[in-house]
Every structure is written in C-alpha cells, then in structure tokens.
C-alpha cells in the first residue's frame, strides 16, 4: 500500500514567523509532528511519502503515487484543507482525515471518505484493522485517552530537515487547568499523561544524529502540568543528555505558576530551555475569573514575568481582549502591562470560542455564536458576539497592536527585557556551519531592517546598546529584531 501524508498550508500568522523565516532562509517554523508520528503507526510494509505544503507544493505526481491519502490539520488550515480534498477527489483517491480540525468539526467534511478522530494511537489501529478486513466505517472515534508510553517516535526520514527553523517533540498531553476558551482539555483531558523519559531521550538522539542543532519545541499543552515527573525524572535526564553536546536550545509552554518554583526554572535552564510561552491573557482579575483562568488571579503578573526573565527564561505570552468584563480602558491597561513586563513576543487576539469548549457552549446557549473561527488569533475576527460595541473594540484593538509593534515601542520593550534577562548559558551551537548561518541572517536583517526598514534607526540603536552593555546577547537582539519585523508586517496586513 502506498500512502501519501499531506499537511495543508498554514496562512500567514503571528506564530508562523513567515517574514522572519525569509530572513533566516527557512520555509516553515515547525514540522507536522502529528503526521510524522502517524507514519510510524502505519504498517511497516507500506510505502509512505509526506508533503508538507508549507515547505513544498502538492503536485499531481504526489497524488498519483498514492493508493490512499492521509490529511491532518488544525483549524487555521481549513481553507487549504478544502483545496487538498478537491485535488485528491479529482484523482479519485480515498481520503482519511484526522487531527484537531476534523475532530472538532467532523460535520463540516462530508466529502472525506474516512474520519479517524481523537487520538490516533487508539483510532488508527481500528481503521487499519477494518481496512485489512475490507469492512471500513466512515467515522472512527473514541472517548478514551491514549497511553502515550506506547506512542512511537516520529518518522524523521519523511522530512526535508533543512527547510525548518525548529523541530518538535512531545512529552505530555493534557492540562490540569480549565480555561473556558481553551479546547486542550476537551481534546486531551485534565490529567497530563506523560511519555517515558527513555522515549524522549530516544527522540532527541534521533534528531541529534541527523545533525540537527537548532531549537527543539516541546509542544506539550503545559510542560509543567505534571511537575513532579518533570522535576524528578525528565529534567535530570535532559541535563545528563546535554553533557558533551553543543547547542540545541529547548522551548515550551508552561503556566504562570512556574514563577513560584525557582528550583524548577533553574533546572529547566540547565536542561537547555531558554524560552517559555505563557497564556497570561489579561492583567484584569475579573476577566480572568470570567474565563476560569483562576491560576492567574491575585498575582503580581509583572513581577512574575520579570522573575522568570531574571532566572534565565524568556517569556513569550498570549493575551486576549473582548471579555465581557473588558472596558475601553482595558486596552490601555494591557498595553502598559506588556511594555512594563518586557515581553517582546506578545500575541494579542480577540476572544474566540472553539468547538468543544465551555465558552462555545455558553455562547451558544446565549445566542451569541457567529460563523466558524478561522483559527488565527490575530486576524481581527471572532466567532462570538462581543458585549462591548464591535466598532469600539475593533478600533481599540487595532490601535493597541499597532502601538505594541510600533518600532519605538517594540524596541523599548526589547531593551527592558534585555536589562531584566540573565541567560544561564548560551545554548547556541558552536560549529562553523551554524555560525555562518547566523552571520548571513544578520547581514540579511541589516539590509531588510537596518537599511530598507522604517525602523532602521531603532534597529541600529538597539544593536549598538547591546554591543556596549550586553554583548553576549547580541545574536538574541538580532533575532528579536527580526521577530519584530515579522510581527509588524502581520499586523500591517
């Protein structure tokens, strides 16, 4: 059996780093980890080919190759998914689809032959068994959660590694919290399930042996959801794994309560982590209670962020506007919070209600649901009727994000971060090839940002300041300047 695994195109987004990738000469920020894992769940005697449409186009010969086509996608890939389905149908191919998009809204894809939903470790074997018997059902689903200690490693042979800016790995699934706008618990449950440490070491070894030395993203919903296992088992193993190895920085997603555990932060830094994403959402306690984000309530969030920075982890953060408790003053309050905290990468989006969430059911019961969500947090759309006047909220939202990424304000925020930040050690590789890549990226940034960019004055001012006062962070300053260029382009569009 010949299987074609397709990962549809992701449009330009905040987290896609599309404009930054052009400077870095990479095609995509992250690989399709789910499909890479699915490939190793398929029978060993199958011939598999993968097309990630974010790094290469889907060609007629790719579809002709296949006896069967597998598609996995997230909500933001919906439009590309429709095009892929049509192309495959035109060739008369059987389509099997799974992943978050299809699991959340299977009713929107009547033209898909077979839907393998929820976690593939459970539902894909059921599909394969019926395929062998010649007695296939259209939908395979489960309410159970997979034992991910049995999950195989992703198949790296399907990737064009040099097309990606970072690689992905997963240690756990699920989150102990219950934010009502988040579909993580609906998809993966409240009890974080973890892989065995030996699995993670095997996956890291596999990547390292390919020659990979750039960043690796632990895609866990909340890396510290099972803090006991992380502190007592995983981090000591990662610290040991790094001995004698150069480079390979890690980054992941955590909750704000990491600030309460200095030992945990220090262990993560020693293990190679240098960046964490945190869902802060809002500094307003009433809005936090409204969305059941109780873990963020009654905290000095600015001090939490600065503490995390000072201990060696850069905080990237997500924020939301459009809560029922928000007022016109909420936008200015959020802007000043972000500036004061020194969070360089701050994604602010309108409140959304994804399928399967408590917020979706609440909005539905109140008659406040609109069209499907796009999956993008920053495209100035929402699928709910906001309580605040729509024109007012759009005006305030646009003003705030434009101000956040206005060069004068963004570079001021970078300087605040660099003053607070204390890197435990540089995780960058020391090999000549990587250094040459850095130099070339720097030269391209000087042309695109430092010469042609409207922000060139602030760019050179920051780099001069960094060279004089924080010289060991020079490459980090250049990277953050490149990120800022991408963010401005996204919001301008």
Q: What is the pLDDT of residues 243-261, one digit of tens each?
A: 888 779 999 999 999 999 9
Q: Which two tokens stand for residue 122?
A: 């459970």
pLDDT of residue 363: 96
- Residues of the chain with pLDDT > 70, as a percent, come to 99
Q: Which CATH class is domain 165-418?
A: alpha beta
User: What number is the average pLDDT over the span 313-317?
Assistant: 98
Domain 2-140 belongs to what architecture? Answer: 3-Layer(aba) Sandwich (3.40)
For 377, 411, 492, the CA distances from 336, given in Å and listed in that order, are 20, 14, 21
Give the per-residue pLDDT at 492: 84
Q: Is the pLDDT reported for residue 427 higher than 70?
A: no
pLDDT at 426 > cutoff 70: no
Instruction: List, by residue range, all CATH 3.40.50.280 domains of the chain.
Output: 2-140
3-state percent breakdown (helix, strand, coil) of the chain, nearest 5: 50, 15, 35
Q: Is 444 exposed, middle or buried (0-12, 13-18, 19+ CB in 10 A)?
A: middle
pTM exceeds 0.75, yes or no: yes
Ranges of CATH 3.20.20.70 domains, the chain:
165-418
Q: How far apart are CA 296 and CA 276, in angstroms?
A: 16
Can you tell me the mean pLDDT for 359-367? 96
Q: Tens digits of per-residue pLDDT, 375-418?
A: 887 888 999 999 999 899 999 999 999 999 999 999 999 999 99
- Closest residue by Cα to residue 68 from 10, 121, 20, 112: 112
Q: What confidence tens digit (pLDDT) does each residue in 125-180 have?
A: 999 999 999 999 999 999 999 999 999 999 999 999 999 999 999 999 999 999 99
Rg (CA), the chain: 22
pLDDT digits (tens, 9 = 90+) for 80-129: 999 999 999 999 999 999 999 999 999 999 999 999 999 999 999 999 99
CA quadruple 131, 133, 136, 140: dihedral sign: negative
């Amino acid at each position: 059996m010949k299987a074609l695994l397709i990962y549809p195109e992701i449009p330009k987004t905040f987290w896609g780093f599309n404009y930054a990738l052009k400077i870095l000469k990479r095609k995509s920020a992250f690989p399709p980890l789910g499909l890479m894992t699915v490939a190793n769940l398929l029978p060993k005697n199958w011939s598999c080919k993968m097309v990630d449409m974010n790094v290469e186009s889907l060609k007629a010969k790719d579809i002709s190759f296949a006896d069967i086509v597998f598609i996995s996608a997230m909500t933001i890939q919906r439009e590309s998914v429709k095009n892929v389905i049509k192309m495959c149908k035109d060739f008369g191919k059987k389509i099997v689809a799974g992943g978050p998009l299809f699991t959340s809204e299977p009713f929107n894809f009547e033209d898909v032959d077979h839907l393998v939903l929820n976690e593939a470790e459970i539902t894909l074997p059921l599909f394969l068994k019926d395929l062998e018997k010649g007695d296939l059902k259209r939908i395979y689903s489960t309410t159970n959660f997979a034992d991910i200690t049995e999950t195989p490693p992703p198949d790296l042979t399907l990737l064009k590694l040099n097309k990606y800016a970072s690689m992905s790995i997963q240690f756990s699934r699920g989150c102990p919290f219950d934010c009502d706008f988040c579909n993580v618990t609906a998809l993966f449950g409240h009890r974080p399930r973890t892989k065995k440490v030996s699995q993670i070491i095997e996956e890291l070894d596999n990547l390292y042996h390919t020659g990979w030395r750039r960043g690796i993203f632990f895609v866990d919903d909340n890396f510290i959801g099972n803090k006991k296992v992380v502190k007592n088992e995983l981090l000591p193993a990662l610290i040991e794994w790094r001995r004698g190895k150069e480079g390979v920085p890690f980054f992941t997603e955590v909750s704000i309560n990491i600030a309460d555990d200095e030992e945990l932060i220090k262990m993560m830094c020693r293990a190679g982590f240098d960046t964490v994403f945190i869902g802060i959402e809002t500094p307003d306690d009433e809005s936090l209670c409204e969305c059941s984000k109780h873990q963020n309530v009654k905290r000095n969030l600015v001090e939490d962020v600065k503490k995390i920075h000072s201990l060696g982890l850069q905080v990237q953060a997500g924020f939301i506007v459009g809560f029922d408790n928000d007022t016109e003053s909420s936008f200015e309050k959020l802007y000043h919070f972000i500036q004061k905290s020194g969070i360089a990468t701050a994604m602010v989006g309108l409140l959304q209600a994804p399928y399967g969430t408590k917020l979706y059911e609440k909005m539905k019961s109140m008659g406040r649901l609109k069209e499907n969500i796009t999956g993008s947090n920053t495209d100035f759309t929402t699928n709910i009727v906001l309580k605040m006047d729509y024109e007012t909220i759009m005006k305030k939202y646009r003003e705030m994000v434009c101000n956040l990424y206005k060069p004068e304000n963004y570079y001021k925020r970078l300087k605040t971060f660099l003053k607070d930040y204390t890197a435990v050690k540089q995780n960058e590789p020391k090999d000549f090839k990587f250094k040459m890549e850095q130099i070339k990226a720097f030269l391209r940034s000087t042309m695109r940002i430092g010469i042609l960019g409207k922000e060139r004055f602030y760019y050179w001012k920051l780099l001069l300041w960094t060279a004089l006062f924080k010289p060991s962070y020079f490459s980090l300053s250049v990277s953050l300047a490149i990120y800022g260029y991408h963010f401005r382009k996204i919001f301008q569009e």
